[in-house]
């Protein structure tokens, strides 16, 4: 995640890992998931799930630790209208008294399918619980907002068969593969995927939508998908499009390999969403002001957004600090390597912003100098080390002052660490081409390769 103005208010909860009961042994049967976004303009997402079940106790949980958020999500506050049904009858559920993300029920004899419905009410503004994800003309769907899953299961093993309805005339994009077939306009079904991949593949939709090919003629497709509050806001100049294509080329030059089937930048441009970015394996969820491409000053402040989230596909998804590679979304994450995850990414975000042509070398140097000057007045480093700010991430990450200080410090730490390894030409004039980082030891530790979202053949 690229740090922006943060939310306030952290909920610290004790987690009890509850017995999965009837869910055991059923994790390979796909959960049918239907999400209706046609009320997005009214700030409501409707969701229906069908779980294959057996009679007996069952606990379903709402995803709590979302990769890239670095602290428990507060979105559950806005998950409402929860109903469990089976055999044509309502099934009573009860929230766990301590783990508020867990919902218990007992499946009656003879019931083989549990239907669960919920409505997600999108906040109109940030600062309450979750963040706004829709305007009247743009909507972003992080699937974790609208799903439950059997407690105690591995998110790599729980399968979902997702489908979507979007408002009439709206287009959409997601990293998920579409299934072929004729359907009503605005309806789509996607490949059956693990819960891990589902949560990692948000969907962007909007009334004004444009897709740019960032790698024309190449085997691995790269696209920039823009949904905006106006048609004019979706337009890139030829020069800006060339910079985006250069970004793709620079990243390949940097790593020397790609691990995804394709890559989709999802970019929501609306003044009604909170500017932010969230990394994913084959896509990124980027949100920025409507006039990002129309106002040079706005663009200059956002140059590192897309490179930052794109870099995370390698540093954060393909390779992930061990403490962040958890078995499911209820298991707490450990953030002691977070500033490798975020600091190194932030450094390469600004570096690649310049390498792609959005910034001149002089602008890059000014940015680095501003970061150094900013840190100069921050005394936090005098009483605790950088690692402590990372371990404390679930408390500090959304606290702007502390977090930004730590994040910026990590940028310089990353630069110094790389320079010590004789990569003296890394910064040179300010944006000389960095050495390839493939397989390198990053500040002394090799980030573990993880099973979830592992490498895919090109």
Residues forming the site for Zn ion (CB under 5 A):
1-2, 342, 345
Identity of the residue, 44 or 338, whose beta carbon is nearer to Zn ion in the bound complex: 338
Please report, to the nearest 10 degrees, the dihedral formed by the alpha carbons of residues 418, 421, 424, 425 taken in order.
-70
* Least distance CB 308 / Zn ion (angstroms): 6
Residue with tokens 């140097």: 365
DSSP 297: H
Identity of the residue, 72 or 307, whose beta carbon is nearer to Zn ion in the bound complex: 307
Identity of the residue, 1 or 175, whose beta carbon is nearer to Zn ion in the bound complex: 1
Spatial separation of the C-alpha atoms in residues 350 and 359, rounded to whole Å: 9
Identity of the residue, 78 or 342, whose beta carbon is nearer to Zn ion in the bound complex: 342
Identity of the residue, 70 or 165, whose beta carbon is nearer to Zn ion in the bound complex: 70
Q: Give exposure, 314-339, as e/b (b: 16+ Cβ within 10 Å).
A: bbbbbbbbebbbbebbbeebbbbbbb
* Least distance CB 338 / Zn ion (angstroms): 9
* Least distance CB 106 / Zn ion (angstroms): 42
* Least distance CB 206 / Zn ion (angstroms): 24
Residue with tokens 């790389």: 418
* Least distance CB 250 / Zn ion (angstroms): 18
Q: Which residues contact 306 (CB under 8 A, 6 or more apart)?
A: 244, 247, 265, 267, 277, 284, 286
DSSP state letters, 428-458: TTTTPPPPP-TTPPBTTBPPPB-STT-----
Identity of the residue, 200 or 342, whose beta carbon is nearer to Zn ion in the bound complex: 342
Stated length of the chain: 458
* Least distance CB 339 / Zn ion (angstroms): 11
Spatial separation of the C-alpha atoms in residues 62 and 377, rounded to whole Å: 41
Spatial separation of the C-alpha atoms in residues 151 and 129, rounded to whole Å: 23
Identity of the residue, 234 or 346, whose beta carbon is nearer to Zn ion in the bound complex: 346
Identity of the residue, 120 or 318, whose beta carbon is nearer to Zn ion in the bound complex: 318
Spatial separation of the C-alpha atoms in residues 263 and 214, rounded to whole Å: 10
**Which residue is nearest to Zn ion, using beta carbons?**
1
> Rounded to whole angstroms, what are the CA distances from 27 to 149, 151, 189, 317?
9, 10, 21, 23
Identity of the residue, 1 or 228, whose beta carbon is nearer to Zn ion in the bound complex: 1
Alpha helices by DSSP H, 264-359: 296-301, 305-312, 338-339, 345-355
> Rounded to whole angstroms, what are the CA distances from 193 to 3, 36, 69, 138, 261?
29, 19, 22, 25, 14
* Least distance CB 342 / Zn ion (angstroms): 5
* Least distance CB 2 / Zn ion (angstroms): 5
* Least distance CB 314 / Zn ion (angstroms): 12
Residue with tokens 């630069």: 415
């Amino acid at each position: 995640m690229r740090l922006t103005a943060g939310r306030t208010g952290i909920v610290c909860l004790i987690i009890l890992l509850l017995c999965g009961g009837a869910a055991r042994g059923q994790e390979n049967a796909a959960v049918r998931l239907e999400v209706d976004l046609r009320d997005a303009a009214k700030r409501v997402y409707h969701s229906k799930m069908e779980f294959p079940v057996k009679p007996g106790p069952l606990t379903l949980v709402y995803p709590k630790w979302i990769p890239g958020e670095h602290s428990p999500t507060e979105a559950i506050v806005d998950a409402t209208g929860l109903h469990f049904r089976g055999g044509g009858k309502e099934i009573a559920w009860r929230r766990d008294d301590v783990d508020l993300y867990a919902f218990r029920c007992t499946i009656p004899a003879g019931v083989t399918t549990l239907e669960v419905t919920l409505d997600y009410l999108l906040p109109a503004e940030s600062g309450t619980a979750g963040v706004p994800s829709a305007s009247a003309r743009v909507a972003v769907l992080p699937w974790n907002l609208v799903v439950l899953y059997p407690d105690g299961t591995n998110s790599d093993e729980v399968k979902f068969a997702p489908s979507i309805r979007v408002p009439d005339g709206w287009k959409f994009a997601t990293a998920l593969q579409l299934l072929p077939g004729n359907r009503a306009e605005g309806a789509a079904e996607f490949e059956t995927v693990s819960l891990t991949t589902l949560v990692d593949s948000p969907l962007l939709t909007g009334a004004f939508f444009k897709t740019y090919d960032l790698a024309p003629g190449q085997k691995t497709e790269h696209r920039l998908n823009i949904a905006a509050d106006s048609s004019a806001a979706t337009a890139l100049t030829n020069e800006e499009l060339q910079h985006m294509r250069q970004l793709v080329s620079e990243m390949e030059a940097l790593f020397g390999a790609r691990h995804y089937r394709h890559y989709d930048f999802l970019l929501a441009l609306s003044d009604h969403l909170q500017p932010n970015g969230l990394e994913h394996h084959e896509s990124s969820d980027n949100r920025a002001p409507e006039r990002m491409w129309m106002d040079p000053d706005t663009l200059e402040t956002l140059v590192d957004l897309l490179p930052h989230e794109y870099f995370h596909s390698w540093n954060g998804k393909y390779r992930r600090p061990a403490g962040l590679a958890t078995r499911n979304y209820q298991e707490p994450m450990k953030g002691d390597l977070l500033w490798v995850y975020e600091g190194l990414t932030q450094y390469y975000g600004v570096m690649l912003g310049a390498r792609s042509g959005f910034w001149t070398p002089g602008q890059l140097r000014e940015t680095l100098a501003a970061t150094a000057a900013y840190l100069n007045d921050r005394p936090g480093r005098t009483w605790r080390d950088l690692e402590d700010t990372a371990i404390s991430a679930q408390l500090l990450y959304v606290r702007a002052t502390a977090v930004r200080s730590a994040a910026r410090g990590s940028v310089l730490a990353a630069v110094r660490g790389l320079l010590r390894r004789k990569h003296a030409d890394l910064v040179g004039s300010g944006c000389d081409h960095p050495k390839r980082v493939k397989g390198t030891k990053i500040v002394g530790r090799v980030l573990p390769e993880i099973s979830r979202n592992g490498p895919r053949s090109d």
